[in-house]
Chain A
Amino acid sequence: MAGAMESVKKARMVTRPTTSDFINEIFDDFIEFHGDRYFSEDNAIIGGIASLNGMPVTVIGIEKGHDLASNMQRNFGCPNPEGYRKALRLMKQAEKFKRPVVTFISTAGAFCGVGAEERGQGEAIARNLLEMSRLKTPIISIFTGEGGSGGALALSVADEVWMLENGLFSVLSPEGFASILWRDNDRVEEAADIMKMTARDLMESGVCDRFFEEPEDGLENELESVTEKLKEALVSELPKLNRLSTKRLLQNRYDRFRKFGEFSDSSRYLTDEVAEAVENRSKQQ
């Protein structure tokens, strides 16, 4: 099936360029900063400051590594709470020094482990959603690979979300979806299709604002062809966001996420029993 599963496979390839590759190609003078100042360093997230055509920016991204040794050192790109807290620290620093923030996302999801729970994985993600929603500086998030659920969202409450052609963003993996909702591990491809998790699908739903085609020879072989376009887009877009008043910037960001949801006020789904109960309780008032 040449459906969404193709993108899933490409997004997960070991040879797929990672955040460090994108940073090297797009920015100059990247200086990496470490640590969350509370507990430790998390190698699954890298962050620091760099120059984009002379403009100072804060760059943060999830790093998976390139081979088994670096995969392990990077915890396979699955951040712990301290990674999200380091990211937030760097974003607050960007706000203070009026630098825009660019984040790169490629993760199967936030790490699920005992230590992650002990140190508040839920709280760390929640705090990032809240603080990013009111960060007084522009944020652009770029999905370069997998975008696994809350662990990806925690770095992408942004003014604009861009995706590479084979980037993904979903509430869970297609494997998890098939196993939990259908109890059938053989329906992973069908799950991937129905989940609308690819860049093209997400353009339609408004989750993604812009997508970048990948070379036919594979991203790993012609990375510059994509990074050139990404750089061009950042160079043209960030100044536009910078020119907005803080109030307008934050209102636009609020509206961007406020619009998500499909619901109706009618009672067309109500079963007779529930409809009757609703009717009765409104009479009681």
Chain B
Amino acid sequence: MSIFSKFAPIVKKASSKREVKIKPEGSDKKMIQCKTCDNIVEKDAITKYKICPSCGAHFRMNPSERVRVTFDKGTFEEFDGDLLPGNPMNFPDYKDVIRKAQDKAGYNEAVVTGIGQINGSKTVVAIMNSFFMMGSMGSVVGEKITRAFEYATAENLPIIVFSTSGGARMQEGIVSLMQMAKVSEAVGRHDDAGLLFISVLTDPTTGGVTASFAMLGDIILAEPNALIGFAGQRVIQSTIHQKLPAGFQRAEFQLDHGFVDKIVHRKELKNELSKILKLHGYRN
């Protein structure tokens, strides 16, 4: 079966929305303002983990950055890298919307799937991309993640899904909603086969992704302070006409309410995933 193409994940770097670029006078050093702590830090001080050197805030990552901090060097192979969306609702200018998103993000679509090794343990992976139309799930995201689960099921492999999404891709209408059912079915088959699914919730994981595969992991991890929820905060506010409590829908809130197994700092994530894989018998 040729469900994967051998693409390296890197296209080009997308800039984090949490960063504000500052030009200091009389210096050629690039400075960045962290939106969480407001401190201005040297861009060079931000390592491959994309964490604020001042407050430790986890900036959003694109799939190639995620691959770099997760997989053993040179082990990642991408699946279905050239899958592109149709226009099921004939939404006006959808092709242009997609083209613009591709230009901005440097990726074909809002998820990268593939296979790689974590400290020697082989695993299938899906990495969503919030820089591409807010990681929204349409036909391509649904199809690629479904194929990844089906591949993992067929090959007796575990799967890790790094979620980040604003929800369903509205421009694809009802077809995007159907992706929730489609992926969930594939999760079910993987589950029936007794295989491990680790769901890693990263900032932000909301809407139709939360209400489908993201919440279906055998083990659900989250990055610190990640926004995780079903309904958007503005929608909730306009429904209940009340101010939302501090920390509402953050990873720590989800941990407190029993919907997340563990919050893991990004620097420890690879090790944690590796331990979990090994404890489930997935070795070299």
A residues bordering B, Cβ < 8 Å?
A: 110-114, 116-123, 125-127, 129-131, 133-134, 149-150, 153-154, 157, 169-172, 177, 180-181, 194-197, 202, 205, 207, 253-254, 257-258, 260-271, 273-274, 277-278, 281-282, 284-285
Pair B180/A120 contact, Cβ less than 8 Å: no
The complex places the Cα of A209 from the Cα of B127 at a distance, in Å, of 34
Pair A281/B10 contact, Cβ less than 8 Å: yes
Q: Which residue of A lies closest to B143 (CB)?
A: A261
The complex places the Cα of A119 from the Cα of B253 at a distance, in Å, of 11
A121 touching B187 in the complex, CB below 8 Å, given contacts A261-B142, A266-B84:
no
The complex places the Cα of A113 from the Cα of B6 at a distance, in Å, of 44
Q: Shortest beta-carbon distance, B256 to chain A, in Å?
A: 9
The complex places the Cα of A202 from the Cα of B185 at a distance, in Å, of 21
Q: Which residue of A lies closest to B213 (CB)?
A: A126
Cβ–Cβ < 8 Å partners of A253 in chain B:
185
Q: Which of B221-243 contact A (CB under 8 A)?
A: 229-231, 235-236, 239-240, 242
A122 touching B215 in the complex, CB below 8 Å, given contacts A130-B187, A263-B143:
yes
Q: Shortest beta-carbon distance, A162 to chain B, in Å?
A: 16
Pair B184/A130 contact, Cβ less than 8 Å: yes
Cβ–Cβ < 8 Å partners of B103 in chain A:
271, 273-274
A118 touching B257 in the complex, CB below 8 Å, given contacts A126-B215, A284-B8:
yes
The complex places the Cα of A258 from the Cα of B99 at a distance, in Å, of 27
Q: Shortest beta-carbon distance, A146 to chain B, in Å?
A: 13
Total B residues in contact with A, Cβ cutoff 8 Å: 79
Cβ–Cβ < 8 Å partners of B87 in chain A:
262
Q: Mark B179-209, 1 if CB is under 8 A from A, else 0.
A: 1111011011101100000000000000110
Q: Which of A129, A157, A267 neighbours the largest number of chain B CB atoms within 10 Å of its CB?
A: A129
B residues bordering A, Cβ < 8 Å?
A: 5-12, 80-92, 95, 98-99, 102-103, 106-108, 139-140, 142-143, 146, 168, 170-182, 184-185, 187-189, 191-192, 207-208, 210-216, 229-231, 235-236, 239-240, 242, 244-245, 248-249, 257-259
Q: Which residue of A lies closest to B96 (CB)?
A: A269
18 contacts between A and B (CB under 8 A): A117-B230, A121-B230, A122-B230, A133-B184, A133-B188, A149-B168, A150-B212, A153-B180, A171-B173, A171-B176, A195-B89, A196-B89, A262-B175, A263-B86, A269-B99, A274-B103, A277-B11, A277-B12
